[in-house]
Amino acid sequence: MLLYVYSLSRRSVFVYPFMFHTETFVVRSYSLMMLIAALTAILTTAWRAHGRKDVNANVLFLMLPTAILGGWIASGVAVTDGAALRMLWHNLSPFTRKGHTVTFFCMGACLAMAPILIFQGRAAFAYLDVLAPSFPLGFAFAKLGCFLAGCCAGALCAYPFAVTYPYGSESYKTQWQAGLLDPPSALILDEADRPQRLLGHAQSLRLARSNPPEFAVAHAQKHGVTFDELALAASESRSLGVWPIQLIYILAATVLWVASEALFRKSAFPGATIAFVLAGYGLMRITFDFFVQEQGPLLLRLTVPQWSGVLALIMAVALGITGWRLARINL
């Protein structure tokens, strides 16, 4: 929330797609937050499971790395530009992953855990309840990564709390491709054999000022400016105002996490916590994604994340009813 308050004071988002950067090594902000999300999920699950007799530690610590590996594989192969198929390790690495993968990560993690949970039979509800509160907490960190990277931005917004994104961010690209932005011609690569494209990200250009790439120097000279002037122009060009949807997601996910932790300690029947978390996630996805700018393909007017929310609601009902019936049988 402090990031948002600072953003409001400037009417712009302080976006850092690269958290750490050298000439040979890059750590993307989004990827780092995804790594923190995974580590947080592991640690909080272990803390929650400590001392519980209905949870086998060996089974639990088999499930956690399996879920994370399944999530990274699923999110890697879901990259739409095909990079995952060309450079598999590059895309699986938590330090080089691209954005737009939270939904596919969650799906992959669930599919990877499914065989282990099925093998546990009725005891699976205990493992699901132990895991459940860690999901919204990890999701909040993932959305913080979206905010820092400038992806998954909100739709156009004319209200005072709207924020703008820098040149080269996903929000900026989307608005430029839609004809809503008209950046200086020096900031657009117009090659004969390729479609028009942006030079890169404002942060990338700023970091490259000490050793700019040859093509960018030549492009700047073509437009009668220096590379420093090009980088300055990029830093001053921003998108139109949009909803701060990532921070709304973070707030909602944090509330869901706190509520699920409380429910876990007072759960009335097995499966109550996982059903509650899935229902909360489903409602978040279905509702908030209507305010996301980069919606992608639609099916029956719903996005892929929204359909994942529908699936989560169905699973919540199924698990909740099954757990409640099991509790009544055991009375």
pLDDT per residue, tens digit, the chain (331 aa), is 455 444 544 555 556 666 666 655 667 777 788 888 888 988 998 898 887 888 888 888 888 888 888 887 777 654 444 343 344 444 444 434 444 467 778 888 888 888 888 888 778 888 889 999 999 999 999 888 888 877 788 888 888 888 888 888 888 888 888 888 888 888 887 766 667 777 777 777 777 777 787 878 888 888 888 888 888 888 888 888 888 888 999 999 999 999 999 999 887 788 899 999 999 999 999 999 888 877 666 778 888 888 889 999 999 999 989 888 887 776 5
Question: d(Cα 62, Cα 116) in Å, to the nearest integer?
Answer: 9
Q: pTM of the entire structure?
A: 0.81
Domain ranges of the chain: 2-156+243-329, 182-236
